[in-house]
Amino acid sequence: MTDQQRLEHHSIFEYLYRDAGNFKTYGALLLTGYTPDADANVRACLEWGDQFVAEQVGVPVLCPEHWESVGEGPSDLDHAFHEFVGLRPATSQELNLPHAGSLQTLVARMQAARGRWDVTLSPNCDE
């Protein structure tokens, strides 16, 4: 497989955790597969157009890194949602990221959660 073919078969899922104080921690997943309509398919599933519960769809939670970067542990500023930034083809440098599964599987998980996001799966939820 050529480098160009490898790039065409991988995508990057970009997301972040933003606490109520607007402090942000970014994350990215390398996924197998790419289709131009995948970004819109994911967005159609999200709460308020960009919010999802990471624990519900198997996306790594960014809270531990977030707390480390802001220098404190969980607080009243924390909540259950992560924010979807975008989905795009991977660059050649990003092919070195750890593989996080297939785009098809992640989109299917998002579609299954659409309209049924369960904030109680997050330890940041008081419900």
Amino acid at 42: V
Angstrom distances, CA of residue 25 to CA of 2, 5, 16, 35, 83: 34, 31, 5, 26, 10
| pTM recorded for the entire structure | 0.90
**pLDDT of the residue at 1:** 54
pLDDT above 60 (res 108):
yes
Confidence of residue 54 (pLDDT cuts 50, 70, 90): very high
Angle, CA of 94, 97 and 100, to the nearest 5°: 115
**pLDDT of the residue at 116:** 97
pLDDT above 70 (res 39):
yes
**Domain locations in the chain?**
3-121
